[in-house]
Amino acid sequence: MRRYLYIKTFGCQMNVHDSEKMRALMENVGYGETADVKTADLVILNTCSIREKAAQKVYSQLGRLRALKRRKPGLIVGVGGCLAQQWGEKFVEKMPFVDFVVGTHNIHRLPGIVESVENTGIPVVETAFHQTVESLNLVAMPCNGRISAYITIMQGCDNFCSYCVVPHLRGKEESRAFEDVLEEVKILSGRGIKEVMLLGQNVNSYGNTTQGGCDFADLLYAIGRIPAIERIRFTTSHPKDIQDKLVACFSEVDSLCEHIHLPVQSGSNRILQMMNRCYTIDEYCTIVDKLRKACPDISITSDIIVGYPGETDKDFHETITMMEKIRFDSVFSFKYSDREGTAAYGLKGKVPESVKGKRLRTLQSLQDEHTLEKNTSMTGRTEEVIVEGISKNSGDDVYGRTRTNKIVNFRGDQGLIGKTVSVKITEAYLHSLRGILLSHREVTEC
């Protein structure tokens, strides 16, 4: 009898992709997917614990699962991802309705873990770190009709930014072999994928742990030579590892999209040093200048934390000054959240929640002005858009993304999905653009 898996993903794109791998692994052993948790035989929460808020969302979901399991005792409940890695055994001790915990290095073992729970009913906890992360090489085949795919090129992180729990939960940095990544891109392009998103905690240091001396820029050049791949994106980058060779890719690799996500975290050199970020604001601005020189239309997005322990009004003001100078296309901004095990956890001078909240609101309203200004500057231009689906707001519209990663809505029908089209931008909003379809090209190569 076919069984059903319901999987809920929290957090970043790495987790979204890990969930795709879990789905593929379970599909191989007869588990189809269901979008309705009530019809599931197996529920997996793929969790995130980067900030307190992310972890809290997982706890409330677990509460709902406890109630569901009371009504359906045969249900198997598993927890994966960063919170699973962090809590390990404690999960099954404190929440006995959890049947298994699968850590970030053990995804490849999922089918065996589920089988063991099915056969014995005894909880399983697999959170050991391994020298080589086997799931790095798992290929999660996107379903037919998809045009975009994630590809993990490295995992783990050796940077130990003082606020960040990731290196403690994802382990040491490990890059995938160059040939393996290229092979996966080729397989995906043969299945109709036009756009690849290269994933890693710090993709610019790709190659540091592989033999053969190929670095991230070499990888971009190589993928750039695969004809069916129209767009290459990557995330996320660390400013300290942006080399001139990578900057040059933005003018030399045609399929590399004009967008970079480059977390700055703070505009204060004092705070950056405390965060162990290994660059100054002047160095960050120099990188931005180089990127804009190599690629004048590049969209630059960032992450900023407010209220790091010891952050003064002056430090925060320096963040605002830096934002005024750089004018990001958009920013993900966060209140500092204390994470056990990190270097910042024990620091004195914690900033009160009310001050963090006020700083966050100030920062976000300034960023809204900049985002709208950037989006407005695109009106009148003709943009290449790959159509992703029917608009959420109107069944008469479709939506897609520009190469700079901005959402565009325009009049169009189902038949355009997956096509690469030209759209004239007519209106700009904070979170999207509106346009008129000019033409579309059929892509015949396979």
Which residue ranges make up the site for ligand 5AD (CB under 6 A)? 50-51, 163-164, 263, 265, 303, 305, 334, 336-337, 339
Partner whose footprint covers residue 238, from ligand SF4, ligand 5AD, none (CB < 5 to 8 Å by kind): ligand SF4
Phi, psi of 50 (to 5 degrees): -65, -35
Partner whose footprint covers residue 159, from ligand SF4, ligand 5AD, none (CB < 5 to 8 Å by kind): ligand SF4
Task: Yes or no: say if 142 and 182 are a contact pair by the CB < 8 Å rule.
Answer: no
* 298 sits near ligand SF4 (criterion: CB under 6 A): no
* 161 sits near ligand SF4 (criterion: CB under 6 A): yes
If binding means CB under 6 A, how many residues of this protein chain bind ligand SF4? 10
Residue 15 CA to residue 65 CA, distance in Å, equals 20
Among 104, 201, 255, 405, binds ligand SF4 (CB under 6 A): 201
Partner whose footprint covers residue 167, from ligand SF4, ligand 5AD, none (CB < 5 to 8 Å by kind): ligand SF4
Residue 233 CA to residue 13 CA, distance in Å, equals 12
3-class DSSP assignment, residue 354: helix
We find the least distance from the C-beta atom of residue 241 to ligand 5AD, in angstroms, to be 14
We find the least distance from the C-beta atom of residue 166 to ligand SF4, in angstroms, to be 4
Specify the residue, 11 or 435, whose C-beta has the smaller distance to ligand SF4.
Answer: 11
Interacting positions 220-279 with ligand SF4 (CB under 6 A)? 238
Question: Omega into 301 within 30° of 0, i.e. cis?
Answer: no
* 154 sits near ligand SF4 (criterion: CB under 6 A): no
Give, rounded to a whole angstrom, the gap between the first and last alpha carbons of the chain: 37
* 117 sits near ligand SF4 (criterion: CB under 6 A): no
3-class DSSP assignment, residue 111: helix
Specify the residue, 361 or 441, whose C-beta has the smaller distance to ligand 5AD.
Answer: 361
We find the least distance from the C-beta atom of residue 265 to ligand SF4, in angstroms, to be 8
User: Over the Cα atoms of the chain, what is R_g?
Assistant: 22
* 166 sits near ligand SF4 (criterion: CB under 6 A): yes
Partner whose footprint covers residue 262, from ligand SF4, ligand 5AD, none (CB < 5 to 8 Å by kind): none
Residue 93 CA to residue 87 CA, distance in Å, equals 10
Residue 324 CA to residue 367 CA, distance in Å, equals 9
Residue 389 CA to residue 398 CA, distance in Å, equals 6
Among 55, 164, 223, 305, binds ligand SF4 (CB under 6 A): 164
We find the least distance from the C-beta atom of residue 62 to ligand 5AD, in angstroms, to be 21
Give residue 167's Cα distance to chain centre: 16
Task: Yes or no: say if 326 and 285 are a contact pair by the CB < 8 Å rule.
Answer: yes
DSSP per residue over 1-36, as a string?
Answer: --EEEEEEE-SSHHHHHHHHHHHHHHHHTTEEE-S-
Interface with ligand SF4 by CB under 6 A: which range of 153-161, 309-317, 414-422, 437-445? Answer: 153-161
Q: Which residues here bind ligand SF4, judged by CB under 6 A?
A: 157, 159-161, 164, 166-167, 201-202, 238
